[in-house]
A and B are shown apart, each in its own frame.
Chain A
C-alpha cells in the first residue's frame, strides 16, 4: 500500500494539474493490475460502504491513543478530519512489510464487514499499530468512507487515457455502470479496441459566456432567441442502439439517478441526443433547487421521494437526429425539429421543451430578466438563432444573463472552526438580523472572504468570544457583512421560518455598525415579494 499512499500524498501536495496527472500515470504504469483496479475505484469516488460508525472509531482510537474522549474531541477540532486525527494521535506503526493495496482492501478492510464490535475493534487497533503514518492515513480514509483526494474523476480518466492510449470518452464509458475492481476489469479498461464505448458517447457541451456588455451591442433583437436560464443539472440524454444514457456536464454518467427521465428517453427514436436541464418540476413550474438536492443526496430512490420530487428534462437543443450529427445546423432549425420530436414522443411530461421567452425587443428581454425569479429561473439565455452548437465556452453566439443576487446586511453572531484546509481557523459563520432588539440567525456562510479577511475575522472571534458551546463560539455582535444569496423560501426547519439559498459573504461592511444591519421584516418582505 506504500505506493498508493505515496500517490495519495503526491496528489495532495500539488495543485498543478500536470503534476497530478504525472503522479497518476506513474502509479498506473507501475502498480499491479489488482491494485490499479482498486485505486481507480477509490480515486473516481466510489467509496467503500462505511464499515464502522464514526462514533465507535472515535472511542476506539481515543482508547488506543490513551486519551480521554474530551481530548480526542479537542484534537479533532484542531485537525478537522477524523481520519487524520486518528492518524496523528497514535504513535507511528512499525510498518516493516509492505503489502499490496488489494490485500489491504480485500483481506483486511472488507474482512471487517459484519464482524462483532470487539472483533472490529481488535482488528482496527492492530492495523493502526502496524501501519506507518501515510499508509494509516489512507487506511483511515477508507474506513471513514470519506475518501476524497485532490484529483477529480476527470483527471483519473485523463491519466488512464494517457497510460493506455485509449481516448478519454472510451475510458469514461468503461468506468460507468457496475464493475468489480478486479485485475481483469482493469485490463479491459485499458483495452485498445474502443467500439464498445462509441454508443454512449455524449457531445462536448456548448457553454454560454456571461453577458458583460450592453444588450444593444448584440445587434438586432430579432436575431436572438431568449430562453430562461434554469438552475438545475445540465445534461445530455442519449438514445442509441436500443439503450439510454444520461450524462451530466461533468461527463458523469447519471445512470439510475433519474429513472423517470431515462424511461422517457427510451421512447425517443433511435439515434437521438438531446441537450437540456434536469429540473425538479411540479404543477407547471420548477421546484426550488433544495428539493433537487434532497434527491441527489440519496443513494437509493424510494417511491416517496420520486413522487414528491419528480424530475424532468427541460430540453433546449437537439444534437443528433436519426443518427446524424445536426450540431452544425442553425439553432432555429434544431429547435423546430426538437419541438416536433418532443410533441410526438409520449413522455408523460418527463421530456419538455424549454419555452422561449417572449420578448419583442431588448427592453422585453430586460423585463424578462426581472421576472426570471418568478418563473423559477436564475436569469435569461440569449442564443443567436443562426448559431451552430459549438464546443466549450465561447463568446459571441450564446450568452447567459443572470439576475442580480439578493442581499441583506447581517451581523456575525456565531463562529466555528472550518475543516480541511480551514481547520483550526474560525471560518464558518452564522449571521443574524434584527428582530426587535434581538439578533435572530438568518444564514450560515463560509465563502466569499479573502484569506486575509478570514485571518482578521478569526482574530476578532478569538478576542471577542462571549460563550463557547463545544466548537461554536458566540461572538460580540459587531461585524456586519453583506450576504448575497440566490433565493429565499419558507422553511419549517429554520427558527425564523426562512431559508436562503447559496448564501455567501459579498462584502465585509466595515462602514456599518451592527445597529445598521437589516431587520427580519425586511428579509420577510423579500419572501413576500415572491423572490
Chain B
C-alpha cells in the first residue's frame, strides 16, 4: 500500500486518515498554502504551518478549526509522522513530509526556489516519493533574475508618471501582490492597493514581513493617482474599479508573461515575468535535491515532466488533480475565495 493515494477528494493518507490539499470537504485536511485551489471549505479540521494560520484564517469561515505547526516540527498522526517545511511560494506555504515505517513522501504544493523577502525560503527535503507541481514544466520557462525585472517595473512606472498616467500592476492578491510591494521603491511614488490586496497585506504586516508603506486606493487622494502604482488582483483589470484611475498603463506580473503570445493575450500594456513557481531548471534541480526515486506530477505540464523523467530512468506518474498553479488568464479567480462544497 502506498502512503498516499489519489481519491475523488484529493490526496489521501489512509494510515494517518488525513488528506493533503483536498478539493472537497473532509475530516482532516493538511493544507500546503492558502490559495483557493489548495483549500476546500467545510473541512472539520485544518493543519497548516504556523506562519500560514493567519493567512488561511482570512480565507475560511471564522469558526474553522485551524491548527498551526512550526516548520520542521513533527506530529504523530496514528503512527504517521507528519511535518511541514518551507516551500517558498507565499507566506506560510509548506511542503508536507509524511513518514511511516521508514518510507518518506513529500508533497510540494506550489513552490519556488528563487529568493522572496516575504516568505521563508524553500528547503529541499529528502524523500522516496516526491509529489511535485510543474506549472511551468517546459524548458522555455527560465525566470530572469528578479532585480532587473524590478528595474523594468520602476522604469515603466516613471515613464507613466511623465506621461501623466496611473500605473496599474496586476498580481494575485495573496502572495504575488506582497512580493511586488516588497520589491517596489516607495521613493518613486505612492504605492496604492486594491481592497483585496490591502487585506492580505495587513496579514503579512501582522506576521512581521517588512513592506514599504501602502495606501488603500479608496482612501488615497485622487491627485496622487497619476504618480502612483496601484497593486490589484488580475480580476480588477478592465473593471469599473480600474477605470476610475483615468488614463493608465497596465501590466500583469506572472510567469506566463515570459512568453510574448501570453503577454499579448493578457490584454495589458506590459507583462513582467515574476513567478512564485519553479521554472524548468529549478524544477529539475529541486527534484534532484530530494533524492526521490519516484515522482508524481500534480499540475501544469505533467505529461512533459513525466516523459522527461522516464527517459532518465525514473519512476514518474502524472496525477489528475484540480490544482491550477498560476493561471494564465488575467481575469481568473484562482486567488479568490474557494467555493464552498
Interface residues of A (CB under 8 A from B): 12-14, 65, 67-68, 70-71, 74-75, 78-81, 84-85, 88-89, 91-92, 133, 418-425, 451, 455
Contacts and interface: CB of A to CB of B under 8 A. Distances in A.
Interface string B278-310: 000100000000000000000001001001100
A129 B308 CA distance: 24
B262 A424 contact: yes
Nearest to B159: A19
A424 B328 contact: yes
17 contacts: A12-B260, A70-B307, A74-B304, A78-B138, A80-B261, A84-B260, A89-B140, A91-B142, A92-B144, A421-B260, A421-B264, A423-B259, A423-B260, A424-B259, A424-B261, A425-B265, A451-B265
Contacts of A68: 311
Contacts of A14: 269
B30 interface: no
Q: Is the interface of A mostly helix, strand, loop or mixed?
A: helix
B212 interface: no
Contacts of B144: 92, 133
B341 interface: no
B165 to A, nearest CB: 11
Contacts of A418: 261
Given A13-B270, A71-B308, A85 B261 contact: no
A71 B265 contact: no
Nearest to A15: B269
Q: What's the interface size class on B, roughly? A: 20 to 34
B323 interface: no
A78 B140 contact: yes
A81 B139 contact: no
Contacts of A89: 139-140
A385 B65 CA distance: 84
Nearest to B261: A423
B260 A420 contact: yes
B269 A79 contact: no
Contacts of B304: 71, 74
B258 interface: yes
B140 A79 contact: yes
A88 B329 contact: no
B11 to A, nearest CB: 22
The 7 closest A-B pairs by CB, nearest first: A423-B261, A421-B264, A88-B140, A75-B140, A80-B261, A75-B138, A67-B139
B130 interface: no
B164 interface: no
Interface in B242-267: 258-262, 264-265, 267
B138 A74 contact: yes
A5 B121 CA distance: 35
B12 interface: no
A423 B262 contact: yes
Contacts of B111: none
